[in-house]
Amino acid sequence: MKTLMKGNEAIAEAALQAGCRLFFGYPITPSTEIPEYMAKKMKRVGGTFLQAESEVAAINMVYGAAAAGERVMTATSTPGFSLMQEGVSYIFAAELPVVIVDVMRHGPGLGGLGATQADYFQLTKGGGHGDYHPIVLAPATVMEMVELTYLAFDLADEYRNPVILALEGISGQMMEPVEFMPYRPKALPPKTWAATGIGDKPKVNIVSYVLANEAGELHNLHWAKKIERMRAAEQRYDTYRMDDAEFALVAFGISGRIAESAVDILRAEGIRIGLFRPISLWPFPTDGMRKYSRIRGWLSVELSAGQMVDDVRLTVGSGTPVHFFGRQGGMTPDPEDVAEAFKMALHNELNAGGVR
Amino acid sequence: MSVVFERTRGLTDQSTHFCPGCTHGVIIRLIAEVLVDMDLLERTIGVEPVGCTGFCENYFACDIVGAAHGRAVAVATGVKRARPDRFVFSLQGDGDGAAIGLAETISAAARGEKISSIFINNSIYGMTGGQMSPTSWVGQKTATSPYGRDVELNGQPLDLPLLLSQVDGAAYVASVSVESPQEVIAAKQAIHKAFEVQIAGLGYSFVSILSTCPTNWGVTPVEALSWLESKMKPQFHLGELKKPALEGVTGP
C-alpha cells in the first residue's frame, strides 16, 4: 500500500523497518523531521531516541552504540555534518557500522536552507582526517530513500563502515507516494567483535589509535584493502535514455530529476542525449560510466560550484570534453536552463557532429 | 599461610606505561578491584579517553571502547543506551572532562545517564608534555603557563565535582585523592559507592580523584605527593559532595 510521505520521514520509517533501535541526534533544519519521527516512533518499537547536546556528542553516542553491536543512526544537516567529521573518522578507524543522514543545506558558513549538493567534497573525499571513505548513497525519490536506507544498514554491517545517505533539503521535505516493502536483511555473521561485556568470550578492545609506525602502516593497508573491496563491489547508478546517446548529462539526487526532464527537451530537438545518474557518490560509479566510451561530451549538472565534475573528468579522461553547469546558494535550475546550458557548453561538439 | 595481598584479576598482566611515581596506576587498580569485588567484570564495558588513561584497554580485563578526546561520556552514553543491562564506566582526565569535553560531562550528568565517570585530575596535560589544564592551580608553572597560572589571563581552576553536585541528574559526586593509604581507602570506597549508584539505577555517578604528575610537575614522586596535598587540595572541595539515600548499600 502506498502512503504519501515526506522524504525525511520515509528515511526514519525505513530505518525502523531495517531494525535501527537507537537514534542520537541534534535538531538542525532541514533534517529535523528525522529526529522528530524517531522521538515519536522509537518508543513503540522498544528502541531508544536520545536528543544529544550537540552533533559532536551525537556522533560519539552513535559510536558507542555501534561499538556495543546495535544498529544505530543519526541525522543532521551540513554544518552539523561538519561537526561530526572527527567522529566519522574514528568510526571508520574503529570499523563500526553506522548510518548517517546528511540533509544538505547550502554553505559555506551558516548558509541557508535551499537546495544544494555542495557537501559532495566533504561526503566523498573524506570530510575528516586520515585516509578513509564512507559509502555515500544519494537518493533521487522518496521511494529510493526507503530502498537505500534498507541497503545502508546492510552495507554498514557488511563492511563495518560508516554509510551516509546524502540528500538535498528539498528532497527531505518533498512528499511523494512511497511503499515500504518488507525489509529482508542480508545474511551476515554475528557481531562477535562488539564490546558487549566479556561474558564467557575473550575481552574486546575497540580503539582507533596506533602509535607504532610499522603497526600504523599495517592498519592503513588493511583499510585500503577494504576501501578497494567497497570500490569494486558497491558502485551504483541509474541511466535514462543512454542506449543510443552521443551526449550525456551526469547528475545525482534532485539534479538528476531536473536533468531527466532536460534530456526529454533536448531529445525533442533531435539531440541524442541521455542521463547518467550516480546513486553511490562514493564509490563513484566509474565502471558504469566508462561503459559509455562513445559519449562525445558530458555535462555535469550540480547544485554547487562544480564538485562531482572532477570525478567525471577523472573517470572519462582528457579525450572527451566534460563541462559543468550549476546553480548555487539554494537555487535550482529549470530543465530548460539545463538544456540551454548543455547547448552552449557543447556547442562545438554538437556542430561538429551535426544536430541529428 | 594466608594471602594478604594479590594481583587483582580485574587487570591483565600487561605492565603499564605510567611514569615512575604517577598515581594513575593506583587508581586504575582501585577501579579493577572494585569491579572484581562487586562481581561486575564479566558484564562491564569501560570507555577510555585520550590522555594518560588512554592505553587502559591493555590493562583492564574487561571490554574497553576508546573514545575521541573529550567524548568518553558521550561514547559511554551510547554504550549504556545500547546495553542498559551492562555496567558502564568512563575514565577521563582533567583536560578531557573539564575542558574539551565539558559540555558532554555536564549534559550526561543532567540526563542522569546511568554510567559512572572516574575523573582523574592531575592539574596538567600529561600526555602532551605538561601544559596548563582547566584545573591547574593559580601560580602553577606549566609549558603553556611558564610564568605560572595567571588569574587575569586564565581565571581560577575549575572545580568540576562541585559544579556537578549542583546538577539534579548527578546522583553521587565525590572528590577524593590518593596521596596516602587512608586516602586510597577512601577513594576505593567512593568508587564502590559510585558503582552501586549505577547498579541501583539512581543516575549519574562521578568520582574525581586528585592524582600526581611528577614528570610534568618537575618534582620527585615523594615531593609530588606532598604537592598534591599542599597545592592541589586547597583548590577543590573534597569529600562526598552529593550522595543519594542508598538503601541497603553499605560499601566495602
pLDDT tens digits, residue range A8-63? Answer: 999 999 999 999 999 999 999 999 999 999 999 999 999 999 999 999 999 999 99
B225 Cβ contact list (under 8 Å, min separation 6): B179, B180, B212
pLDDT tens digits, residue range B147-170? Answer: 999 999 999 999 999 999 999 999
The domains found in chain B, sorted by start residue, are: 24-242 (3.40.50.970)
CA distance B178 to B164: 21
pLDDT bin (cut points 50, 70, 90) of residue A199 is confident
> Domain check: are A204 and A102 in the same one?
yes
- Which chain A residues are closer than 8 Å to B81 by Cβ? 22, 24, 48, 50, 61, 64-65
Q: Say if B127 is an interface residue toward chain A (CB within 8 Å).
A: no
pLDDT of residue A1: 85
> Domain check: are A127 and A175 in the same one?
yes
> Domain check: are A226 and A276 in the same one?
no
> Domain check: are A206 and A325 in the same one?
no
CB B87 within 8 A of CB B40: yes
- Asked if A69 and B63 come within 8 Å (Cβ–Cβ), the reply is no
Domain boundary among A197, A212, A233: A233
> Domain check: are A34 and A145 in the same one?
yes
Averaged pLDDT for residues A113-131: 95
- Asked if B107 and A68 come within 8 Å (Cβ–Cβ), the reply is no
Size of interface A-B (CB pairs under 8 A): 134
Mutation site for B-interface testing, chosen from A60, A83, A201 by largest number of B Cβ within 10 Å = A60
Do β-strands A205-206 and A247-250 pair in parallel, antiparallel, or remain unpaired?
Answer: unpaired
Structural domains counted in chain A: 2
Pick B68's closest partner by Cβ from A68, A90, A203: A90
Averaged pLDDT for residues B174-195: 98
> Domain check: are A218 and A319 in the same one?
no
Domain boundary among A214, A233, A252: A233
> What's the angle, vertex CA A278, arms to CA A276 and CA A279, rounded to 5?
135
> Domain check: are A196 and A288 in the same one?
no
> Domain check: are A52 and A177 in the same one?
yes
> Domain check: are A95 and A126 in the same one?
yes
pLDDT of residue A356: 46
DSSP-assigned beta bridge partners for residue B175: B208, B239
Closest Cα in chain B, distance from residue A24 (Å): 8
Task: Assign residue A328 the CATH number of its domain.
Answer: 3.40.50.920
Output the CA–CA distances (angstroms, integers) from residue A325 to A78, A111, A241, B121, in the order listed.
22, 21, 20, 56
> What's the angle, vertex CA B118, arms to CA B117 and CA B124, rounded to 5?
125
B70, closest residue in chain A (CA to CA): A57
pLDDT of residue A200: 82
> Domain check: are A229 and A247 in the same one?
no
pLDDT tens digits, residue range B73-106? Answer: 999 999 999 999 999 999 999 999 999 999 999 9
pLDDT of residue A352: 79
> Domain check: are A226 and A289 in the same one?
no
pLDDT of residue B246: 58
- Asked if A53 and B83 come within 8 Å (Cβ–Cβ), the reply is no
**Top-confidence residue, A353 or B179:** B179
pLDDT tens digits, residue range A261-318? Answer: 999 999 999 999 999 999 999 999 999 999 999 999 999 999 999 999 999 999 999 9
pLDDT of residue A355: 47
CB A53 within 8 A of CB A80: no
Task: Assign residue A158 the CATH number of its domain.
Answer: 3.40.50.970
> Domain check: are A229 and A260 in the same one?
no
- Which chain A residues are closer than 8 Å to B77 by Cβ? 50, 57, 61, 64
Pick A64's closest partner by Cβ from B57, B76, B111: B76
User: Cell 596535560, residue?
Assistant: B125
Does B235 score more than 50 pLDDT? yes
- Asked if B77 and A50 come within 8 Å (Cβ–Cβ), the reply is yes
pLDDT of residue A347: 86
Instruction: State the residue range of the domain holding A19.
Output: 3-233
Q: What is the ipTM of this complex?
A: 0.95
Domain boundary among A179, A206, A233: A233
pLDDT bin (cut points 50, 70, 90) of residue A126 is confident
